[in-house]
């Protein structure tokens, strides 16, 4: 179902008035985690001004340490929904447990499956039944084939609205948090009809590398970007080092607009 042989034309995912796939480019932006009502509303207005079409922000956070902030859960989902109502941005947020799928789907326009859950097959089968588009992040050590098979689970379960998200893989390099594997963009486009989104924030772990890798992703043919933006990265509860400020995000967006016109 995932393969180009099954569906030769690019799949277009329609959400509200937006279309992902084909020749459109969408930017999804926002903090790693929803930390407070004020934080998410401020970020939402800033990223919308800069041209983002989706607001990202985790309410359920898959953290390496059990002692780290785990997310505001339903309270965070309510703030995201409020930000959507105020700005018109669509909302993408992560679901980490099959039991929470219908709750998250009630508040969100796109459900994000995080890298750590790419092969959580129970969760994949659950989001197959949620009725909302799914962004499937690549597992930190998943091959292209494993990743496509994970998407196959969602499509086999009846949900054809699936997007891939390259977010970097684990390699021997430790300067960057992950190694952003941009070769997956043309590789997936050759093998599959589904849209491909790139996450240069988790893909590098360093905010200084986000803008150049975002440009590279678009040059490689990505259908969109998902980027972490925080009003005060130095105070962020998670992923501050890879988060852009609203100002740097705005500068990047202006540059990307020039690039997409040139491509």
The sign of the CA dihedral 123, 24, 80, 200 is positive
| Nearer to ligand PEP among residue 23 and residue 143 (C-beta) | 143
Is 114 one of the binding residues for ligand PEP (CB under 6 A)? Answer: yes
How far is it, in rounded angstroms, from Cα 86 to Cα 34?
16
The sign of the CA dihedral 248, 253, 259, 263 is positive
Question: How are beta strands 13-15 and 18-20 bridged, if at all?
Answer: antiparallel
Tokens of 230: 């925080």
Pick the piece of the chain touching Mn ion (CB under 5 A) from 16-24, 65-73, 103-111, 231-239.
231-239
Pick the piece of the chain touching ligand PEP (CB under 6 A) from 99-107, 110-118, 126-134, 209-217.
110-118
Within residues 4-63, the interface with Mn ion by CB under 5 A covers: 32
Binding-site size for ligand PEP (CB under 6 A) equals: 9
Nearest to 120, CA basis, from 62, 51, 165: 62
Within residues 155-174, the interface with ligand PEP by CB under 6 A covers: 167
Contacting residues for 217 by C-beta, under 8 A, at least 6 apart: 166, 180, 182, 185, 198, 200, 225
How far is it, in rounded angstroms, from Cα 76 to Cα 83?
11
Tokens of 126: 């659950």
| Nearer to Mn ion among residue 35 and residue 239 (C-beta) | 239
Is 72 one of the binding residues for Mn ion (CB under 5 A)? Answer: no
- Considering only 177, 193, 202, 211, the residue that binds ligand PEP (CB under 6 A) is 202
In whole angstroms, the minimum distance from the beta carbon of 77 to ligand PEP comes to 15
- Considering only 58, 76, 200, 205, the residue that binds ligand PEP (CB under 6 A) is 58
Residue nearest to ligand PEP (CB): 114
| Nearer to ligand PEP among residue 7 and residue 206 (C-beta) | 206
Tokens of 132: 């909302």
How far is it, in rounded angstroms, from Cα 227 to Cα 259?
17
Is 239 one of the binding residues for Mn ion (CB under 5 A)? Answer: yes
- Considering only 46, 89, 115, 217, the residue that binds ligand PEP (CB under 6 A) is 115
Chain residues binding Mn ion by CB under 5 A are 32, 239
């Amino acid at each position: 179902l995932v393969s180009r042989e099954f569906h030769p034309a690019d799949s277009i995912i329609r959400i509200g008035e937006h279309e992902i796939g084909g020749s459109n480019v969408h930017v999804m932006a926002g903090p790693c985690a929803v930390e407070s009502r004020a934080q998410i509303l401020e970020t939402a207005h800033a990223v919308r001004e800069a041209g983002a079409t989706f607001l990202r922000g985790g309410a359920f956070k898959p953290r390496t340490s059990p002692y780290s902030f785990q997310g505001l859960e339903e309270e965070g989902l309510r703030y995201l929904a409020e930000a959507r109502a105020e700005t018109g941005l669509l909302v993408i947020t992560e679901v980490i447990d099959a039991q929470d799928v219908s709750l998250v789907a009630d508040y969100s326009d796109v459900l994000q499956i995080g890298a750590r859950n790419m092969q959580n097959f129970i969760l994949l089968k659950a989001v197959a039944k949620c009725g909302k588009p799914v962004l499937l992040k690549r597992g930190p050590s998943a091959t292209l084939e494993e990743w496509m098979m994970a998407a196959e689970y969602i499509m086999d379960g009846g949900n054809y609205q699936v997007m891939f998200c390259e977010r970097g893989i684990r390699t021997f390099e430790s300067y960057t948090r992950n190694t952003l594997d941009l070769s997956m963009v043309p590789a997936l486009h050759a093998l599959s009809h589904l849209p491909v989104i790139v996450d240069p924030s988790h893909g590098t772990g360093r905010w200084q590398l986000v803008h150049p890798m975002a440009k590279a992703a678009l040059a490689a043919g990505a259908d969109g970007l998902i980027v972490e933006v925080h009003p005060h990265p130095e105070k962020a509860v998670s992923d501050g080092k890879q988060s852009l400020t609203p100002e740097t995000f705005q500068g990047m967006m202006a540059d990307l607009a020039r690039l997409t016109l040139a491509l």
